[in-house]
């Protein structure tokens, strides 16, 4: 199983709003019960509760590539995409200048849909920390899974060069 997925900006904003709301509710409840002198205590417990909520929400949100299917999870539901719906994969630039690894899917009436697996900043140096190492591992694991499924991968030449030079990931072979 490979864990991937990108949380969309709207959902991030919703999670942040839920966290701020939880801080306000816990703080107001603490002040209501114990008095105005417990503002900082209410803030402390509110922030702690909000951090727990955000860990729960972000931990539940993602995509899992399994041998049987692709499982998309959100905090409120789960959906499954069969591997036979995957037409191709592509590693390209998105509208924000980040590198995006996405799957192109077919769906009965809908001609094409996209499922974004990774969105990483461009690589300009060797692995420098835990974030780079984790993203390198994810790219390698996803490529291995796609290769086993014989799914064609399109990759921009500048991305392939940078991955090979800095992260020592060989370009895909046909």
Both 84 and 148 in a single domain? yes
pLDDT of residue 25: 97
| Beta carbons of 57 and 44 less than 8 angstroms apart | no
Q: Please count the structural domains in the chain.
A: 2
48, 9, 6, 96 alpha-carbon torsion, rounded to 10°: -130
Strand partners, 77: 74
Q: What is residue 170's predicted lDDT score, i.e. its pLDDT?
A: 81
pLDDT at 96: 85
Same domain, residue pair 139 and 67? yes
Regarding whether 69 and 15 lie in a shared domain, the answer is no
Render each residue's pLDDT in the chain as its tens digit; 174 residues.
Answer: 888 988 989 999 999 999 999 999 999 999 999 999 999 999 999 999 999 999 999 999 999 999 999 999 999 999 898 999 999 999 999 888 899 999 999 875 555 588 899 999 999 999 989 999 999 999 999 999 999 999 999 999 999 999 999 998 887 655
Residue 98 and residue 144: Cα distance in Å, rounded? 22
Residue 37 corresponds to which tokens in the numbers above? 């002198």
* 161 plus 80 within the same structural domain: yes
Tokens linked to 154? 């399109």
**Predicted local confidence at residue 173, as pLDDT:** 59
Nearest C-alpha neighbor of 72 from the set 110, 114, 16: 114
Identify whether the C-beta of residue 43 lies closer than 8 Å to the C-beta of residue 31.
no
Strand residues in the chain grouped as ranges (E) = 2-4, 62-65, 69-74, 77-82, 86-93, 99-105, 113-120, 153-155
What is the reported pLDDT for 174?
53
Q: Are residues 100 and 56 in the same domain?
A: no
The verdict on 138 and 157 lying in the same domain is yes
Contact 5, 78 (CB under 8 A): no
- The parent domain of residue 51 ranges over 7-60
């Amino acid at each position: 199983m490979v864990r991937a997925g990108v949380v969309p900006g709207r959902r991030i904003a919703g999670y942040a709003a839920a966290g701020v709301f939880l801080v306000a509710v816990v703080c107001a409840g603490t002040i209501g019960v114990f008095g105005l002198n417990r503002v900082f205590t209410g803030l402390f417990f509110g922030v702690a509760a909000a951090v727990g909520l955000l860990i729960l929400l972000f931990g539940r949100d993602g995509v899992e590539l399994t041998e049987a299917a692709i499982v998309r999870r959100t905090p409120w539901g789960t959906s499954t995409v069969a591997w036979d719906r995957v037409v191709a994969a592509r590693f390209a630039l998105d509208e924000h200048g980040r590198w995006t690894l996405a799957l192109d899917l077919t769906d009965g009436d809908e001609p094409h849909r996209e499922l974004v697996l990774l969105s990483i900043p461009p690589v300009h140096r060797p692995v420098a920390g835990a974030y780079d190492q984790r993203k390198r591992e994810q790219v390698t694991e996803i490529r291995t899974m796609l290769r086993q499924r014989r799914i064609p991968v399109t990759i921009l030449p500048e991305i392939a060069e940078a991955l090979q030079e800095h992260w020592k990931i060989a370009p895909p072979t046909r």
